[in-house]
Amino acid sequence: MSTPSLLILPGDGIGPEVMAEVRKIVDWFGAKRDLTFDVSEDLVGGAAYDAHGTPLHDDTMARAQDVDAVLLGAVGGPKYDALDFSLKPERGLLRLRKEMDLFANLRPAQCFDALSHFSSLKQEVVAGLDIMIVRELTSGVYFGEPRGIFEEGNERVGINTQRYTESEIDRVARSAFELAMKRDKKLCSMEKANVMESGILWREVVTRVGQDYPEVELSHMYADAGAMQLTRWPKQFDVIVTDNLFGDLLSDLAAMLTGSLGMLPSASLGAPMSNGRPKALYEPVHGSAPDIAGQGKANPIACILSFAMALRYSFDQGDEAARVEKAVEAVLADGVRTADLLGEDGTVPVSTSEMGDAIVAKLDASL
């Protein structure tokens, strides 16, 4: 098989800093595990706007379509706030998701033992938490037409459209059931079937797909009740499947249950390519954190764990993914902390690159 290809898009803010640490891990696999990647790098977001006047150059889009996996840092920053909507850094990311047709967004929310006291919830509520949110990523109100700001009489009206076809619901539901089969075989689907027709259809299609997965225990919840249950007793959930907008909200909520956004990776997957690998983009859940950019304070773990997800979902290297995840756990168990993971106990934080080095050292120790 040819060398797998990886397109790295560091993006803005802390993106380049955390991605530099991922490069250390990628290089480690080449040197120590004979797992070499054909790595190329390009611009996205504000960085692409600065260079080309667009948040995603067509050439970059074409390269993203061509590689086995894309790894993205983060996009956005106050510098770009005044830009026209169509030129904002986020549009680059949304274009990647849409044109690569990355319909299944996997957002794990896992509470690391060493950090369970960090959650704003009681430790017993979050200790050992391990849930997976599957967010539909290429449709719904994010992309539905009509959309825009229009004149209506003597005032303006802002319009966005929640729209889901049966096939869009079907395919993301299948991804969620497949994941549930590999986990605790429990799936909760969230929508607002009490007020939205799209929610009624969503519930119907998910239920129908469920007939193909009789081993999976399927439940349904209104998304508002789901948010409440997620904060009340999150361990009742295994896999959650939901639409684009509810998934955006619920995944931030679930992420914060674990105590730090700096820890959480994500995978956005599409249909299989001709080589059998899914179209895929991996990115940390956190944003570009412009307030700490360039200071060596950022936590690279979410981005490193995103690469671990790439090993698992794109490159069939589940054991090597687990090796990275264990290295991260071991570093945390040693008390190594970036600034975002510090309490009041007087621990001195390590820098972004020291955290990367510590993880590499644990990888070495794993051999």
Distance of CA 34 to the CA centre of its chain: 27
Q: Are 313 and 269 in contact (CB under 8 A)?
A: yes
CB atoms within 10 A of CB 31: 10
- Applying the rule CB under 5 A, the residues between 220 and 259 that interact with Mg ion are 248
Binding site for Mg(2+): which residues?
A: 224, 248, 252
21 lies in the binding site for ligand IPM (CB under 6 A): no
Choosing from 12, 238, 248, 340, which is the catalytic residue?
248
In degrees rounded to 5, what are phi and psi of residue 26?
-60, -45
Tokens of 112: 């690391």
Please name which of 162, 163, 225 lies closest in space to residue 188, comparing C-alpha atoms. 225
136 lies in the binding site for ligand IPM (CB under 6 A): no
Residue 354, binding choice from ligand IPM, Mg ion, none, Cβ under 5 to 8 Å by partner class: none
Cβ-closest residue to ligand IPM? 90
Q: Is 12 annotated as catalytic?
A: no
Q: Which stretch binds ligand IPM (CB under 6 A): 16-24, 41-49, 90-98, 356-364?
A: 90-98
E strands along the chain, which residues? 5-11, 38-41, 69-74, 104-110, 130-136, 144-152, 155-161, 186-191, 217-222, 239-242, 265-272, 278-284
Binding site for NAD(+): which residues?
A: 77-90, 287-299
Judged by CB under 6 A, how many residues of this single chain contact ligand IPM?
Answer: 4
Provide the minimum distance between the beta carbon of 94 and ligand IPM in the complex, in angstroms, as a whole number. 6
Q: What angle do CA 200, 206, 212 make, to 5 degrees?
A: 150
Provide the minimum distance between the beta carbon of 249 and Mg ion in the complex, in angstroms, as a whole number. 8
Q: Is 66 annotated as catalytic?
A: no
Residue 298, binding choice from ligand IPM, Mg ion, none, Cβ under 5 to 8 Å by partner class: none
Question: In the beta sheet, which residues pair with residue 278?
Answer: 272
Provide the minimum distance between the beta carbon of 243 and Mg ion in the complex, in angstroms, as a whole number. 13
Among 12, 21, 248, 325, binds ligand IPM (CB under 6 A): 248
Q: Is 252 annotated as catalytic?
A: yes
Query: Rounded distance, CA 263 to CA 110, Å?
Result: 9
Between 192 and 286, CB nearer to ligand IPM: 286
Q: Are 237 and 244 in contact (CB under 8 A)?
A: no
Q: Is 34 annotated as catalytic?
A: no
90 lies in the binding site for ligand IPM (CB under 6 A): yes
Binding site for substrate: which residues?
A: 97, 107, 135, 224
Binding site: which residues?
A: 77-90, 97, 107, 135, 224, 248, 252, 287-299
Which residues 6+ apart lie within 8 Å of 293 measured at CB? 12, 13, 14, 17, 77
Residue 90, binding choice from ligand IPM, Mg ion, none, Cβ under 5 to 8 Å by partner class: ligand IPM
- Applying the rule CB under 6 A, the residues between 91 and 130 that interact with ligand IPM are 93-94
Q: Is 192 annotated as catalytic?
A: yes
Between 168 and 248, CB nearer to ligand IPM: 248
| 172 exposure class (CB count in 10 Å sphere: 0-12, 13-18, 19+) | buried
Q: Are 72 and 93 in contact (CB under 8 A)?
A: yes
Question: In the beta sheet, which residues pair with residue 284?
Answer: 265
Binding site for ligand IPM (CB under 6 A): 90, 93-94, 248
Binding site for Mg ion (CB under 5 A): 248
Return the active site residues. Answer: 142, 192, 224, 248, 252
